[in-house]
Amino acid sequence: MKQNALIAGVGMTRFGKHLDRSLSSLAHEAIDAALKDAGLEPGDIQAAWAGVAGAPIMTGQTLVAGQMILRGLGIGRIPVVNVENACATASTAFQQACTMVSLGVYDAVLSFGVEKLFHPEKERAFAVLGGAVDTERPEELLAYVAEGQPDDNPARARSFFMDIYARMARDYSERSGATDAHYARISAKNSLHGSLNPLAQFQDRLTEAEVLAAPVISAPLTLPMCSPIGDGAAAAVIVSPRFARERGIDAPIRVMSSLLASSYDPGPGEPGITTWAAAQAYDQAGVGPEDIDCVELHDATTPAELICCEALGLCRPGEGPALLDSGATTLGGRVPVNVSGGLVRKGHPIGATGLAQIYELTLQLRGRAGGRQVDGARIGVAENGGGFLGRDAAVVAMTVLSQ
């Protein structure tokens, strides 16, 4: 549906390893910042959507995480909806909140995502990701991953999602001519962007040579080409235009479109789910790829950035490597991609990732992103994928925002 909602405020923690912090303390930091940014009080919030993905498995806080977190802020009585939708959890919470405002059900709502994935037992985080596929048909996934996998692939502890992404990378290289150097170039580019983001998990600069020389996780992917697990939270306050006018809210950002799409098995010649969802989002927003000034996309590994650039229409199929080589996706280029550092540098606490993208785009469209500001940014796009079914993402969330 066409959205009629505004972002009044955003907040975010630094992503990273927060073993000494609770789920609620991370969420409170992001929510408090979003409310302060909006100039609102907790009592102004009429409903909330709480995104929590892996944390229930990691912490044992199941079923009522949103209510527990908000109770600690003195927020009760209002409807609280707990949301879990793989890596698109936070963007799903955001989309649902925007839709309810657009429908006129509420005037001021909260969406937030929070995650705790770091644990002394690393296998527990892998177990979280293990459920983001079709567990009833494991043979289908194993066959997909095994096809074309090098015999000397390292026997390194890793999430099997890295094997999925490695297969995608090999397939993409075959059809586009992308090389390992291209994938390393994205890591280096996004390390430049992440070095300018004080909330990024990794803020050091990397060269292409350093990326290529790093340990191989699943060929052709080296460690810096892969997003890390993480802890963190992000939040957004969404309001109706009438509420924004009455409260004099400063610099609200317009939600032009926000939609969810689920996996399907495309027939010959049919587009993948991200391509399909992007077309729907552009249509609802009344814009095209040529209108986009900056993009935050789901680079769970660096090859995904090239694949998604094509799916979003930033270039034609097979031209992702040329788009990268032209400098268009680097800060200062025609359409900078992942100026936050992306998942590979900003981090990927899966329950918070989608709203971290919204946070970044909101700063960019307000002109408040500091050293990583995209000059003249007016329209931004967020693409957030999650899970894996068949041969594609299980869910894709698309958002188009404007000044």
Tens of pLDDT, residues 363-378 = 999 999 999 999 999 9
Q: Looking at the domain assignment, is residue 127 inside a domain?
A: no
Distance of CA 25 to the CA centre of its chain: 21
Domain that holds residue 43: 5-119+230-254
Q: Are residues 107 and 139 in the same domain?
A: no
* Contacts with 239 (C-beta within 8 Å, 6 or more apart), sequence order: 5, 6, 8, 38, 101, 107, 108, 109, 247, 249, 252
| 99 and 156 co-located in one domain | no
In the structure, what pLDDT confidence band is assigned to residue 189 with cuts at 50, 70 and 90?
Answer: very high
pLDDT tens-place string over residues 287-331: 999 999 999 999 999 999 999 999 999 999 999 999 999 999 999
Task: Give the CATH number of the domain where residue 105 resides.
Answer: 3.40.47.10
171 plus 29 within the same structural domain: no
Please tell me whether residues 247 and 261 are part of one structural domain: no
* Residue whose entry in the numeric block shows the structure tokens 């890295």: 162
Q: Is residue 49 part of a domain?
A: yes
Q: Do 12 and 68 fall into the same domain?
A: yes
Question: Which residue has better confidence, 386 or 150?
Answer: 386
Last residue of a domain, one of 254, 269, 287: 254
Residue 159: its pLDDT value, please? 73
Residue 218: exposure state from Cβ atoms within 10 A (0-12, 13-18, ≥19): buried
pLDDT above 80: residue 148: no
pLDDT at 158: 67
Which pTM was predicted? 0.96
Is 126 part of any domain?
no
Nearest of 111, 107, 112, 113 to residue 46 by alpha carbon: 107
- Average confidence score pLDDT of the chain: 95
Are 274 and 387 within one domain? Answer: yes
Same domain, 60 and 30: yes
**Is 87 marked active-site?**
yes
Domain count across the chain = 2
Residue 125 lies in a domain: no
The Cβ of residue 198 has, within 10 Å, a number of other Cβ atoms equal to 10
Return the higher-pLDDT residue of 269 and 93.
93
Of these residues, 87, 226, 294, 309, which one is catalytic?
87
Return the structure tokens found at 264: 């399907």
Q: What is the pLDDT of residue 125?
A: 79
**Which pLDDT score, from 0 to 100, does residue 157 have?**
59
